[in-house]
Amino acid sequence: MTILSASLLLFLVMDPFGNIPFFISALKNVDPKRYRKIIIRELLIALSVLITFLFGGHYILKLLGISEPSLTISGGIILFLIAIKMIFPSPGGHHEEDIEGEPFIVPLAIPYVAGPSAMAAVLLITSREPDRWPEWLLALLLTWFVAGLIIFSSTFFIRFLGKRGLIAIERLMGMILITISVQMLMTGIIKFIKVVGG
């Protein structure tokens, strides 16, 4: 996996376009002058959580004795399920939370940006080749920066694309993520067969 492919995977999983309506909804009761400060603060919190998983995830998996083939297969299954939800979302799939006052950590940083799917993707990427952690950190920072810019410009995107446009982009991202997940699943199965076959 290259830095570019890792960045693409993380970007698809973070789904910044799909999160735009939920950011706007969560900030509806907040003074507009505070929007940018809140978004920057929540993005930084989300980044710190993902970096923690980037550096600590490998040790957790090693402690649990999880092999690379099983991690790749399970990662493919998880990403496939995430992609299916992006393409065919259930009613209320993203749980909008009615928050009084200013949101803090929940739900903007977690789970909208650093959700379970993003944490799992970071864990998967770094655990396969932990020695390349500088590259994975760079990929995470690039993805976070681009996703942050999109969320930071949420009012522009919702005016320019509209809700239907955002939904269409999310569906497209889901379809790309399905192909990545299937490839991961097949790679994991092949590696497992090689290990078992000796």
In degrees, rounded to 5, the angle at the alpha carbon of residue 49 between the alpha carbons of residues 171 and 65 is: 90
Q: Is residue 198 part of a domain?
A: no
Count CB-CB contacts under 10 A for residue 51.
16
Task: Note whether residue 174 is domain-resident.
Answer: yes
- Maximal CA-CA distance, the chain: 63
SS3 89: coil
Whole domain around residue 181: which residue ranges? 3-193
Count of domains for the chain: 1
What is the rounded distance in angstroms from the CA atom of residue 18 to the CA atom of residue 87? 11
Residue-wise pLDDT tens digits, 111-135: 899 988 898 889 889 888 889 999 9
pLDDT at 3: 95
pLDDT value for 65: 84
How does DSSP classify residue 153?
A: T
Burial of residue 84, with CB atoms counted within 10 A of its CB: 0-12 exposed, 13-18 middle, 19 or more buried: middle
Look at residue 35 and tell me if it is in a domain.
yes
Say what the pLDDT of residue 100 is. 64
32-42 per-position pLDDT tens digit: 889 899 999 99
Q: Is 176 inside any structural domain?
A: yes
List the chain pLDDT tens, one digit each, 198 residues. 899 999 999 999 999 998 998 898 888 888 888 989 999 999 999 999 999 999 988 787 788 888 878 888 888 898 898 889 889 987 655 555 556 678 889 889 998 999 888 988 898 898 888 899 999 999 999 999 999 999 999 888 988 888 899 989 999 999 999 998 999 899 989 988 988 876
The span from the CA of 91 to the CA of 8, in Å, is 27
Task: Check residue 113 and give its pLDDT.
Answer: 94
Positive or negative: CA dihedral 106, 112, 114, 116: positive
Question: Does any domain span residue 76?
Answer: yes
